[in-house]
Structure 1
């Protein structure tokens, strides 16, 4: 059922989004006469690598800087890229990866190999399913760029402030995954574009109903400042890169 819904919804989504995506793709190409696509190597189910497609929001060869995490004020982001990121259009084209079977509509977000090498055994469970375009964590941390804005080392900040809670939210999703939860998360992802606060309230309500611990509910509400925490299955906070 999950795979069938992935195929049908991704195909429909690509057709519906085409009138928006095609003009944006042209604008991305027009600004520097390079491909509007960025092919991002990621680690998928079973720790197998795959090529994730994104609309390019950065300058050419931005990935050669060695920085994987992107702050909102990152100078590598182009003018068109700011718009693309604001409305998550860079991720809409990943519906093609869903259609192909590399990804699912809902599941833990895929990560780069340098990051997955750091995973604890508990986090490795996130690699037992197809990665997704969205999940609880994607909604809760849709402002990831703002969280990392102004940080001296965005990668370390990501591993201290975002990765731990993304991991716990991803593991919570795995415990409760199902077609109806997937449909709810897809709807909440769309809602988050119009009203992030309403989407966060709905996420907290859903997680509370499913018995989420208070600490995870506090993080999901995003009403308090994030504090460094160890990743799932670790005893200490990450202090070094890779």
Structure 2
């Protein structure tokens, strides 16, 4: 992290310590309230996942967060058990590893709800760079490492712009290679701009845009084939 390319972003955030404290308080209070309110949804998803396919309710993949620390992310499982052992780390359109219930969960963006657990325990924040797997982080340029100055996020500008990321990869023979070469650098441009202009108001704006994007995606996908 002690890189010349990272320093400007560090200096910018250092001037906003008060807002960073508020950000953490929002994470704790917001995630605690949502975990209680959404507990019936959590229970329903858990039952559906267990009835649909063998394996755990949660997918606990290793990801990277603030200062390069690794953690096991909570995601409702939408793929067959041990899917990461039989394919790429990212998911393309019509990925055969996705289960029947998993397709519905992904379409409604419900698999991310369980990350409220990670937000509450401090491994993640509501708004920030999406957490990548360690081998992808190992391919970061020096400037990209500035995204590790803050905890990994549930949503971000890049998440909104690339909400249909799988479609960028649907014709790729080498999914991991295309992601690292073409998709990741474009996402990082948005992530670095978000860090440079960080503010609490900016975070709330991104959260509202995320809700709008998810609702819009839900409406647009209502006529899709169930496969």
Both proteins in one fold, TM over 0.5: yes
**2:51 counterpart of 1:44:** no
Higher relative contact order (CA 8 A, sep 6+): 2
- The answer to whether structure 1 residue 60 and structure 2 residue 90 are counterparts is no
Which residue of the partner structure matches residue 169 of structure 1?
190
Counterpart in 1 of 2:132? 111
Aligned length: 196
1:21 is matched with 42
- Given that 2:54 and 2:81 are in contact with CA atoms closer than 8 Å, whether structure 1 keeps it comes out as no
Distance 2:182 2:107 in 1: 21
- The question of 1:183 aligning with 2:204 is answered yes
Secondary structure class of the residue paired with 1:93: helix
1:158 paired with 2:176, answer no
Gaps of 5+ in 2: 1-21, 218-227
**Distance in 1 of aligned mates of 2:36 and 2:171:** 38
Per-residue Cα deviation, 1:44-90 (whole angstroms, up to 9, x for no partner): 11111111110000001111125111102110000111111111111
Q: What residue number does 1:225 align with?
A: none
Q: Deviations over 1:140-198 (max 9, x none)?
A: 111011221132111112123310111100000001111111111111111101225xx
8 Å Cα contact 1:21/1:89 also seen in 2: no
Is the 8 Å Cα contact of residues 64 and 133 (structure 2) preserved in structure 1?
yes
Residue 97 of structure 1 is matched in structure 2 by 118
Mapped pair 1:131 → 2:152: yes
Distance 1:16 1:189 in 2: 19
- CA displacement at 1:123 relative to structure 2: 0.5
> Which SS does the other structure have where 2:74 is aligned?
strand
Q: Please, what is the CA RMSD of the aligned residues?
A: 1.2
**How far 1:11 moved relative to its partner?**
1.1
- Is the Cα contact below 8 Å between 2:55 and 2:80 reproduced in 1? no
Residue 19 of structure 1: CA displacement?
2.3
Equivalents in 2 of 1:13, 1:86: separation in Å?
Answer: 21
2:166 to 145, 149, 155: 145
The Cα shift of 1:32 comes to 2.3
Show the counterpart of 2:30.
9
**Which residue does 1:30 correspond to in 2?**
51
The match for 1:227 is none
- In 1, distance between residues paired with 2:34 and 2:181? 34
How far is the alpha carbon of 1:33 from its aligned partner? 3.7
TM-score (norm. length: structure 2): 0.83
CA distance in 2, matches of 1:20, 1:121: 41
Q: Residue 73 of structure 1 contacts residue 150 of structure 1 at CA under 8 Å; is this kept in 2?
A: no
